[in-house]
Amino acid sequence: MKECILLLGHGSPKKDANNLEQVGTMLHGMLHAGCKEGCVKVAYLQFAQPGIPDTIKQCIGLGARKVILHPFFLSSGMHVTKDIPEMIQEARQLYPGVEFIYTEPLGIHEKLAHIVMERISAAEQLAPSAIEKRSFDILSAEADLSEVPADRLPIVQRVIHATADFEFKKTLMFHPDAVALGLQAIKSGKDVLTDVEMVKTGINKKWLSQWGGNVICNIQNTGAQGLKEEAGEGKTATRSELGIEAALKNSQNIGIIAIGNAPTALLKVIELFNSPSFAGRPLPLVVGVPVGFVKAIESKALLAAQRFPFITAVGRKGGTPVAVAIVNALLKISGDGK
């Protein structure tokens, strides 16, 4: 361990109040995902253990040549400007070969105001719609979405809101006709086909039913016996893949396909839509955002190269929350535009 980060708390006689370790764990995961060395530590000024000098000594004993100390305080009071700096100065004298960096406290920051807003919302027990609005206000304040086209903005916002991942601002990809086709399908009473039950469960059926559409998923209708029979000798098909294929062959009322789990199902859709049996037919909007490490990246990259309408998210990230958020965003736009 060459570098160690210390979160410094005040400490309290009330044992339950000394919970800075939770913040330290979250910070460690954000900075050093998968690290097992425990290079983010917590120390307290008084009333609680471990103390600051002992924790510094522990870091040095583990081989740290740089120690970054952050006072987890709201303002620069006496503890921040005098007591802790004196301890650090003593440490510099004891360990002359170690670099000590002392940061500013939490201080005044706009993100603290956002936290206060969340606490107020929780205390007021606001209606879900009001909480959602405030959440979107916070989201808009933290992310510059000014370059996102107006028709796609509600979708990008809802995906970020569902995942708390601002990276989707850059990774979501849209066919030029995707949003228009999705809205047309919803208002025409078309059904939404999903690859797994979790995606089906998350889609707002009340919003969809007002237009006459339903959410369908065929995965429960495929058995293990059919996996090899349907795929052909020597091959194996997933239940999601078979369910999607069966639904597309048996229904003419599918307007949106939402795939959040199975790359194989997305690959099957692409294969079918490029086959002679689907030539000349109006094709549904494909929301293809499977998550994972095997075939997920490849299936979404292939979808992004298609001529039929799609919405996808390049890279490994995706999943049920993303697929649900995209479809629900389209449903919300449809309802707002009545």
Strand partners, 310: 286
pLDDT of residue 93: 95
Which residues carry out catalysis?
161
- What is the arithmetic mean of pLDDT over 224-233? 45
Residue 238: pLDDT band by 50, 70, 90 thresholds?
Answer: confident
> How high does pLDDT run on average in the chain?
87
156-176 residues labelled b (16+ CB within 10 A) or e (exposed): bbbbbbbbeeeebbebbbbbe
- Whether the full predicted model's pTM is greater than 0.85, yes or no, is no
In the chain the beta strands, taken as DSSP E runs, fall at 3-9, 40-44, 66-71, 99-102, 172-174, 191-194, 215-217, 254-259, 285-288, 310-313
Among the residue ranges 91-105, 148-162, 216-230, the one predicted with the least confidence is: 216-230
Whole-number Cα distances in Å, 331 to 130, 179, 328: 19, 11, 5
15-48 residues labelled b (16+ CB within 10 A) or e (exposed): eeebebeeebeeebeeeeeeeeeebbbbbbbeeb
- Other beta carbons within 10 angstroms of residue 293's beta carbon come to 7
Q: State both tokens at 225.
A: 């016996």
CATH number of the structural domain 3-102: 3.40.50.1400
pLDDT, tens digit, for every residue of 6-37?
999 999 999 888 889 989 888 888 787 777 78
Q: Considering only CA atoms, which of 24, 43, 28, 40 is closest in space to residue 84? A: 43
Domain residue ranges of the chain, discontinuous segments joined by +? 3-102, 109-142, 148-336
Place of tokens 């002392």: 102
Residue 228: pLDDT band by 50, 70, 90 thresholds?
Answer: very low
CATH number of the structural domain 148-336: 3.40.50.10230
Euclidean distance between CA atoms 41 and 69, whole angstroms: 10
Which one-letter DSSP state was computed for residue 338?
A: -
Identical fold, 3-102 and 148-336 = yes
Euclidean distance between CA atoms 248 and 333, whole angstroms: 26
Whole-number Cα distances in Å, 334 to 108, 122, 156, 182, 268: 41, 29, 16, 9, 29
pLDDT of residue 2: 85
- What is the arithmetic mean of pLDDT over 144-159? 90
Residue type, 292: G
pLDDT, tens digit, for every residue of 174-203?
999 999 999 999 999 999 999 988 899 999
